[in-house]
């Protein structure tokens, strides 16, 4: 080995820069954070050349002329003095690393003037060397121009992505800054095009600027608090969920952060109404006392740890559940609030959400609960195991949907329901539609309508004196089959169905490791899974209720859940049950008889099914007569 050298400052800074500034977006992040920390009320960001030129101008407190050089020294910060300050950091920066790091990999010019000074100063540094330090006239605040970024770091330069991708990343970063600092006016201009401009007039205005002008239509405002802590922000309505997680912003005490537990928790709070592979978009703010959060976990300060994770989860569940319940009273989509005591498997996440003692990783395992606590009617539910509901409209020999369909020849839906003479129905029917959406009961609504045909062999059409309701036959049937399957699984958790031929499948090495580490859980649900040689597996039995399941879909669901770290009995079963229900449900564009249509409608009301299919699509939609009249200009 060679002799040990103490590295020179320049080399050291360059190495440190690797951690702090690995791409243009991280330069923007550091500079904007400095501007926010300076108390600026206005921050303008200009980006050119895929982020190799970055200008950030603020109107904050400025830097004293004599401090200009110091600001660029490693570990030079005005934000903390000693160890004790570390426990209650209220600024975004505090490590004193950003400016020296940036200056070691770029040409930097910083111009600044404090309000109390008559003149300002400018310092120009290139690759760590001071080129210029002059007194200049300048507006109050600080302007930093970074150019030729990474010009002296060929390795970094090589890894820069296209100008568009780098700018895209900067844009989503700025979007988050706008939300997090909604009292600061922030603008982003790239290549002379203005991407964002907020005016610093509060959260709603910032949401408007950052999430788009439809924010109020597409998102729900949520809020919940306990003394000392609060959770609030915007979460997308089910119909406006996204196909990936990049529309999720979590802001803790004013700082944009990442926290796997929390984002998983939020997803879980609403997954039951989301379609598969759909994710909520959100900008959620969590404010807790500074000593209840550890922001010091990650060098670039994006990750945080909460001291009282359970408490935060409880607040989130409350805020999100309340918003879901509110959505249910919106005029166009017919749905309902899920009663807290509803014990169906399909709503497991909501119930778990109410239980703060369960950590994110444990939710899945807790999915066992529904199997045990929903067995009051063991016999009744069991019968649905034997005839599980596959085909309402295409009865097969051994499986029938339920009570005889053909014998019921009623004319209208109301008559069908009356025939059954169940007290519960009458209580449904006697309700009168109230004009206030809040008091409205969707099932009463549906049951007081007259079935009057179908559209496109897909949507059942119901009419009353002042509106029509459209019901998606596939989605509605799917929801019922799903609920039945859930019951069947709950009642007969150990009943398995051997496959005629084992299903053999291969996975990757890392997937195999994951499967092996969860083998006993997978088996305990009723999937007999054996590892063969290498990364091949044999599946030889499945839970009885899932005997028709799509096996390859099951395998991909299972591996995906395992990879996401969200594997658990409940999650796996939920996906499998959804799949099965979807496969077995009457399809759209299928000509069902009027009687079957009426029965379907009757069941919706009688069973008070959740008016979203298991994938989260709405089952019923209403159109007001007045709306139709407007189309024809009968009214304006």
DSSP letter, residue 399: -
Pairwise CA distance, residues 483 & 242, whole Å: 26
Q: Report which residue's Cβ sits closest to Mg ion.
A: 93
Pairwise CA distance, residues 479 & 485, whole Å: 10
Q: Report which residue's Cβ sits closest to ligand ADP.
A: 93
User: Which of 187, 229, 170, 258 is CA-nearest to residue 45?
Assistant: 187
Identify which of residues 72 and 393 has a Cβ nearer to ligand ADP in the complex: 72
24 contact choice in Mg ion, ligand ADP, none (CB below 5 to 8 Å, kind-dependent): none
Q: What SS3 class is residue 588?
A: coil
55 contact choice in Mg ion, ligand ADP, none (CB below 5 to 8 Å, kind-dependent): none
Using alpha carbons only, give the angle 355, 360, 366 rounded to the nearest 5 degrees. 60
DSSP string, 128-197: TEEEEEEEE---SEEEEEEESTTTT-HHHHHH---HHHHHHHHHHHHHHHHHHTTTSEEEEEETTEEEEE
**Closest approach of Cβ 443 to Mg ion, in Å?**
57
38 contact choice in Mg ion, ligand ADP, none (CB below 5 to 8 Å, kind-dependent): ligand ADP
Beta strand residue intervals within 401-535, DSSP E: 450-455, 459-463, 467-472, 496-506, 528-531
Tokens of 309: 């994770």
Residue selected from 78, 165, 528, 540 as contacting ligand ADP according to rule CB under 6 A: 78
Binding stretches for Mg ion (CB under 5 A)? 34, 93, 98
Examine residue 190 and tell whether it contacts ligand ADP (CB under 6 A): no
| Long-range contacts (CB closer than 8 Å, 24 or more residues apart) made by 522-528 | 522/558, 522/572, 524/569, 525/493, 525/569, 525/572, 525/573, 526/493, 526/494, 526/495, 526/496, 527/554, 528/496, 528/498
Stretch that binds ligand ADP, among 94-102, 152-160, 249-257, 427-435 (CB under 6 A): 94-102
**Closest approach of Cβ 160 to Mg ion, in Å?**
22
Q: At which residue do the structure tokens 């959400």 appear?
A: 353
Examine residue 99 and tell whether it contacts ligand ADP (CB under 6 A): yes
Stretch that binds ligand ADP, among 2-10, 70-78, 149-157, 226-234 (CB under 6 A): 70-78
478 contact choice in ligand ADP, Mg ion, none (CB below 5 to 8 Å, kind-dependent): none
Q: Count residues contacting ligand ADP (CB under 6 A)?
A: 22
Identify which of residues 304 and 385 has a Cβ nearer to ligand ADP in the complex: 304
Examine residue 68 and tell whether it contacts ligand ADP (CB under 6 A): no
Identify which of residues 54 and 507 has a Cβ nearer to ligand ADP in the complex: 54
Examine residue 79 and tell whether it contacts ligand ADP (CB under 6 A): yes
Identify which of residues 26 and 473 has a Cβ nearer to ligand ADP in the complex: 26
| CB contact at 8 A, 470 and 456 | no
Residue selected from 35, 328, 344, 417 as contacting ligand ADP according to rule CB under 6 A: 35
Examine residue 34 and tell whether it contacts ligand ADP (CB under 6 A): yes
**Closest approach of Cβ 121 to ligand ADP, in Å?**
12
Using alpha carbons only, give the angle 224, 230, 236 rounded to the nearest 5 degrees. 55
Residue selected from 59, 111, 142, 253 as contacting ligand ADP according to rule CB under 6 A: 142
Examine residue 60 and tell whether it contacts ligand ADP (CB under 6 A): yes
| CB contact at 8 A, 106 and 151 | yes
| CB contact at 8 A, 458 and 589 | yes
Identify which of residues 108 and 460 has a Cβ nearer to ligand ADP in the complex: 108
Residues forming contacts to ligand ADP in the complex (CB under 6 A) are: 30, 34-35, 38, 58, 60-63, 71, 76-79, 93-99, 142
């Amino acid at each position: 080995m060679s002799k040990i050298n103490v590295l020179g400052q320049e080399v050291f800074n360059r190495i440190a820069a690797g951690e702090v500034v690995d791409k243009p977006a991280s330069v923007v992040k550091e500079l904007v954070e400095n501007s926010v920390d300076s108390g600026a009320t206005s921050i303008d960001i200009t980006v050119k050349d895929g982020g190799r030129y970055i200008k950030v101008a603020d109107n904050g407190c400025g830097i004293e002329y004599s401090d200009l050089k110091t600001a660029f020294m490693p570990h030079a910060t005005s934000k903390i003095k000693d160890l004790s300050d570390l426990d209650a950091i209220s600024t975004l920066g505090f490590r004193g690393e950003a400016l020296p790091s940036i200056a070691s990999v770029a040409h930097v010019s910083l111009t600044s003037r404090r309000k109390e000074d008559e003149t300002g100063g400018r310092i120009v540094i290139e690759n760590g060397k001071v080129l210029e330090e002059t007194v200049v006239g300048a507006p109050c605040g600080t302007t930093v121009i970074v150019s030729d970024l990474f010009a002296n770091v060929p390795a970094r330069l090589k890894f820069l992505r296209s100008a568009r991708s780098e700018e895209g990343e900067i844009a989503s970063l700025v979007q988050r800054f706008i939300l997090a600092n909604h009292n600061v006016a922030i603008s982003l201009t790239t290549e002379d095009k203005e991407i964002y401009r907020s005016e610093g007039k509060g959260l709603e205005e910032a949401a408007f600027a950052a999430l788009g002008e439809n924010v109020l239509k597409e998102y729900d405002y949520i809020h919940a608090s306990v003394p000392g802590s609060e959770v609030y922000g915007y979460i997308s309505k089910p119909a406006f969920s996204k196909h990936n997680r990049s529309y999720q912003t979590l802001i803790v005490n004013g700082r944009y952060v990442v926290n796997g537990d929390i984002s998983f928790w939020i997803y879980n709070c609403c997954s039951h109404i989301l379609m598969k592979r759909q994710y909520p978009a959100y900008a959620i703010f969590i404010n807790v006392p500074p000593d209840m959060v550890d922001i010091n976990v990650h060098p670039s300060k994006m990750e945080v740890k909460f001291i009282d994770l359970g408490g935060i989860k409880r607040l989130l569940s409350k805020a999100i559940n309340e918003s879901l319940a509110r959505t249910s009273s919106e005029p166009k989509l017919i749905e309902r609030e899920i009663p807290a005591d509803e014990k169906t498997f399909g709503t497991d996440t909501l119930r778990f959400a109410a239980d703060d003692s369960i950590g994110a990783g444990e939710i899945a395992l807790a999915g066992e609960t529904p199997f045990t606590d929903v067995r009051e009617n063991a016999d009744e539910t069991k019968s649905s195991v034997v005839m599980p509901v596959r085909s309402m409209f295409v009865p097969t020999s051994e499986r029938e949907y339920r009570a005889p369909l053909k014998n019921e020849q009623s004319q209208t839906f109301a008559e069908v329901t009356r025939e059954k003479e169940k007290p519960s129905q009458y209580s449904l029917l006697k309700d009168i539609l109230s004009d206030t959406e809040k008091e409205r009961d969707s099932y009463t609504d549906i049951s007081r309508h007259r079935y009057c045909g179908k559209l496109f062999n897909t949507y059942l059409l119901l009419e009353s004196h002042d509106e029509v309701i459209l019901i998606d036959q596939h989605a509605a049937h799917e929801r019922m089959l799903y609920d039945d399957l859930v019951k069947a699984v709950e009642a007969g958790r150990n009943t398995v169905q051997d496959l005629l031929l084992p299903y053999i499948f291969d996975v990757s090495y890392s997937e195999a490791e994951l499967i092996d580490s969860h083998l006993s859980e997978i088996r305990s649900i009723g999937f007999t899974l054996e590892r063969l040689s290498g990364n091949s597996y044999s599946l030889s039995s499945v839970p009885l209720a899932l005997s028709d399941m799509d096996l390859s879909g099951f395998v991909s669901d299972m591996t995906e859940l395992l990879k996401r770290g969200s594997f658990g009995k409940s999650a796996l079963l939920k996906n499998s049950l959804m799949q099965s229900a979807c496969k077995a449900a009457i399809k759209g564009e299928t000509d069902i008889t009027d009687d079957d249509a009426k029965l379907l409608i009757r069941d919706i009301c009688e069973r008070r099914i959740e008016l979203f299919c298991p994938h989260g699509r709405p089952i019923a939609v209403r159109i007001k007569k007045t709306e139709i009249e407007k189309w024809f200009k009968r009214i304006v």
